[in-house]
Amino acid sequence: MTPQDDRPVSPATGDGAPHTRRQAKDAARQDEVRLENAVETADGELPPPAVPATAAGLGAGPAPDAPLLHRIMTGNALVAFLSVVLSLILGGLLIAVTDQNVARASSYFFSRPQDTLGAAWTAASGAYLALFQGSVINFEGDSFTRIIYPLTQTLTVATPLICAGLGVALAFRAGLFNIGAQGQILIGATFAGWIGFTLHLPAGIHLLLVILAGMVGGAVWAGLVGLLKARTGAHEVILTIMFNYIATNLVLYFLSTPAFQRPGSTNPISPQLDATALYPPLLGPAFRLHWGFVVAVLATVFVWWLLNRSTVGFELRAVGANASAARTAGVNVSKGYILAMAIAGALAGLAGVAQVSGTEKVLTSGVAASFGFDAITVALLGRSSPWGTFAAGILFGAFRAGGVAMQASTGTSIDIVLVVQSLIVLFIAAPPLVRALFRLPSPGAPRAGKGGSTTRTPASTGAAA
C-alpha cells in the first residue's frame, strides 16, 4: 500500500465527492453525502440480525478465528460425553475381538454365527461388568465395606488426577498448554516426601508442611516454565516436555543418594513418610481413601473461585482468550503466564502430595505413575472447567480402579483401559468425527436458535463451572 504521489486525488465519481465549497452551501446534498459516507462503512446490524455472523460467513464453528487447540480444550459437553460412549463401544469391540472364546467361535462363524456374537457379548459385557464392579459397587461383596470399597478406590485414584487435571485446565484457560504436570507432580512429591521422611514434627504441623512443600515444589518447577516463556518467548510445550525429562532424572538421581534412601539399603526407594506426615484415612483404616480427596474437592472449589470470581482469574482468562486485548486493557501478560504456571504447578504438586502422603507413603521414581499425562486427558474431557475436570477425574479414576479388578477377575488386559482413554482423547480432538458419526448438526447453525446455551455459560455469573 504505497501512497500515491500523483497529483491531486481525483474524485472517484462525479457523484461521490462534491466540490468542497459547494458542499457547505448545499445542505440537502451534504446530508446525502453524510449518509453515503456513513453507509460506506456500514455493517448493518438491525434488530434482530438477519444472519448471525457465523452463519453468514463460512460457518466453521463457535469462534472460527479461535486457535484449534482452544476449541478442542473448551469443546462441547455433548461431544465429550459421546466421545466416552463411543470409546467404550470400541473398547468393547476390541475386548470381544481379542477374546479367545470369540476367536474359537468365529472359526465357524458361517455355520453358527450366534456363537461368535454370543461369545463377543459375553466377553465385552463381562469385562465391563467387572470394570463397574471394580470401580463403583461390588455386588458380590460380603460386607458393606467390601461393597462400597470399589467406589472409595475410584475416589482414591481420582484424587491425584483431579489435582493435576485442575493444574492443566487452569494453565489452559490462561492460554498455556501445560503438558508438564508429570514433572510437576514428581518434583512436588519429592519436596513433600523429603519433608515427610526427614523431618520429625508433631502431627498437624508436619502434614501441613508436607502439603505446602509439595505445592511449592510444583509451583517452582512450573513457574520456571512460565518465567522462561515470559522472558524468552520459548514455547511452553517444548519447555514442559524438557522439564518432565529433567524432573524424572532428577528424582532418579535423588533416589540414588543416601539422603533419599532407607538406612542400610541402596534401593531407589525412600523411607516411609512419618505417620504425622500422612493424610489420615477418610473413612477409617479399611479403606485407602484419604483426606487428600477432600483437599482435591477444596482445590476444585478454589480453582472455580479463582477463575470465575477473582481478579486474578479474570486476568488469566483474558490473557488466555485474547492476549492482545488483555494487554491493551492493562493486564501484564508476562506476569499472567508466570502466575498461571505457578498455580498450575502448585495444583500438580498437590497431586504429588496425594501420592506420597496418601496412597504410596514412600517416594519412588514411579510415584507419579502416568497421572501427569492422564491429567491432560482429564482436563481435555472436562473442557478445562473446574467441575468438568473434577468429573472427568472421577471417571478416569474409575477406569483405573475398575481396570485392576477387570484384569484380575476376567483376565482382560488392563491395557484396554488405556486404549479406551486414548480413544476418548482422539474423539474429543476431532469433534467433526463424533458429530458425523452421531449425525449431529455442525455448531455454526443452531447457535442463534439456542442462544448458544450449550457451549457458553454466563461468565459474569460464574462461567463454565
Partner 1 sequence: MKLELIGITKRFGSLVANDSIDLVVEPGQVHSLLGENGAGKSTLMNVLYGLYDPTEGEIRVDDEPVTFKGPGDAMAAGIGMVHQHFMLVPVFTVAENVALGNETTKAGGMLNLQETRARIRQISDQYGFDVDPDAVVEDLPVGVQQRVEIIKALVRDAEVLILDEPTAVLTPKETDELLGIMAQLKADGKSIVFISHKLREVKAVSDVITVIRRGKVVGTADPGAPTTELASLMVGRSVSLTLDKQPATPGDVTFRVRDLTVQAANGQRVVDGLSFDVAQGEILAIAGVQGNGQTELTEAIMGLQDHVSGSITLGGEELVGRSVKDIIRAGVGFVPEDRSVEGLVGTFSVAENLILNRYDDAPFARGLSMSPSAIEKNADEKIAEYDVRTQSASAAAGTLSGGNQQKVVMAREFSRPLKLFIASQPTRGVDVGSIEFLHRRIVAERDGGTPVIIVSTELDEVLELADRIAVLYRGRLMGIVPGAVSRDVLGLMMAGMPADEALAQAHDVQGGNL
Partner 2 sequence: MKNSLRKFSRGTGLSAAVLGVSALVLSGCGAPPAEDSSGGGASAEAGSDYLGCIVSDSGGFDDRSFNQSSYEGLKKAETDLGIEINQAESQAETDFGPNVDQMVQAGCNLTVTVGFLLADTTKAAAETNTDANFAIVDDNSIDLPNVKPIIYDTAQAAFLAGYTAAATSETGKVATYGGINIPTVTIFMDGFAEGVAYFNEETGGDVQLLGWDKESQNGTFVGNFEDAAAGKTNTQNFINEGADIIMPVAGPVGSGTLDAVIEANAAGKDVKAIWVDSDGYETAGKGEEFILTSVMKLMGDAVEDVIRTDVEGNFDNTPYVGTLENGGVALAPFHDQEANVPADLQTKLDELKEQIISGEITVDSAASPE
Binding site for partner 2 (CB under 8 A): 60, 101, 104, 106-112, 115-116, 146, 153, 157, 249, 252, 256, 262, 265-269, 272, 288, 355, 359-362, 364, 366-367, 369-371, 400-401, 404-405, 407-409, 413-415, 418, 432-433, 435-437, 442
Q: What's the min distance (Å) between Cβ of 149 and partner 2?
A: 9
Say which entry of partner 2, partner 1, none residue 173 contacts (CB below 5 to 8 A, set by partner kind).
Answer: none
Residue among 259 and 437 whose Cβ is closer to partner 2:
437
Say which entry of partner 2, partner 1, none residue 384 contacts (CB below 5 to 8 A, set by partner kind).
Answer: none
Distance CA 211, CA 197 (A): 13
Say which entry of partner 2, partner 1, none residue 267 contacts (CB below 5 to 8 A, set by partner kind).
Answer: partner 2
Say which entry of partner 1, partner 2, none residue 369 contacts (CB below 5 to 8 A, set by partner kind).
Answer: partner 2
**DSSP H helices in 11-143:** 20-25, 27-40, 53-56, 68-73, 77-98, 100-106, 113-135
Pick the piece of the chain touching partner 1 (CB under 8 A) from 26-34, 128-136, 188-196, 372-380: 26-34
Q: What's the min distance (Å) between Cβ of 133 and partner 2?
A: 11
Distance CA 430, CA 83 (A): 10
Burial of 327 (0-12, 13-18, 19+ CB in 10 A): middle
- Mask for 142-181, x = binds partner 1 (CB under 8 A): ----------------------------------------
- Cα angle: 90, vertex 95, 100; to 5 degrees: 150
| 26 belongs to the binding site for partner 1 (CB under 8 A) | no
Say which entry of partner 1, partner 2, none residue 159 contacts (CB below 5 to 8 A, set by partner kind).
Answer: none
| 34 belongs to the binding site for partner 1 (CB under 8 A) | yes
b/e for 104-141, b at 16 or more Cβ within 10 A?
Answer: ebbeeeeeeeebbeebbeebbebbbebbbbbbbebeee
Distance CA 163, CA 169 (A): 10
User: What are the CA-CA distances from residue 129 to residues 60, 88, 133 (Å)?
Assistant: 40, 12, 6
Say which entry of partner 1, partner 2, none residue 362 contacts (CB below 5 to 8 A, set by partner kind).
Answer: partner 2
| 436 belongs to the binding site for partner 1 (CB under 8 A) | no
**Is the Cβ–Cβ distance between 173 and 320 less than 8 Å?**
yes
Q: Which of residues 206-245 bind partner 1 (CB under 8 A)?
A: none
Grid cell of 381 as nine digits: 474431557
Assign residue 235 a region: left if phi > 0, alpha if psi is -120 to 50, beta otherwise? Answer: beta
Distance CA 303, CA 344 (A): 10
| 459 belongs to the binding site for partner 1 (CB under 8 A) | yes
Residue among 101 and 457 whose Cβ is closer to partner 2:
101
**Residues with Cβ < 8 Å from 438, sequence gap 6 or more?**
82
Work out the angle between the directed axes of helices 371-381 and 144-173 (0-180°, nearest 10): 80
Pick the piece of the chain touching partner 1 (CB under 8 A) from 13-21, 124-132, 164-172, 424-432: 13-21
Q: Which of residues 38-57 bind partner 1 (CB under 8 A)?
A: 38-47, 49-53, 55-57
| 78 belongs to the binding site for partner 1 (CB under 8 A) | no
- Near partner 1 by CB under 8 A: residue from 85, 205, 325, 408: 325
| Dihedral, CA of residue 34, residue 38, residue 39 and residue 40, to nearest 10 | 100
Work out the angle between the directed axes of helices 77-98 and 113-135 (0-180°, nearest 10): 120
Grid cell of 132 as nine digits: 463397574
DSSP helix/strand/coil, 290: strand
- Near partner 1 by CB under 8 A: residue from 310, 415, 422, 432: 310
Residue among 41 and 111 whose Cβ is closer to partner 1:
41
Q: What's the min distance (Å) between Cβ of 107 and partner 2?
A: 4
Q: What's the min distance (Å) between Cβ of 101 and partner 2?
A: 8
Pick the piece of the chain touching partner 1 (CB under 8 A) from 91-99, 106-114, 226-234, 454-462: 454-462
**Is the Cβ–Cβ distance between 423 and 86 less than 8 Å?**
yes
Pick the piece of the chain touching partner 1 (CB under 8 A) from 238-246, 263-271, 414-422, 440-448: 440-448
Say which entry of partner 1, partner 2, none residue 326 contacts (CB below 5 to 8 A, set by partner kind).
Answer: partner 1
Q: What are phi and psi for residue 19, nearest 5 degrees? A: -65, 135
Residue among 240 and 359 whose Cβ is closer to partner 2:
359
Residue among 290 and 383 whose Cβ is closer to partner 1:
383
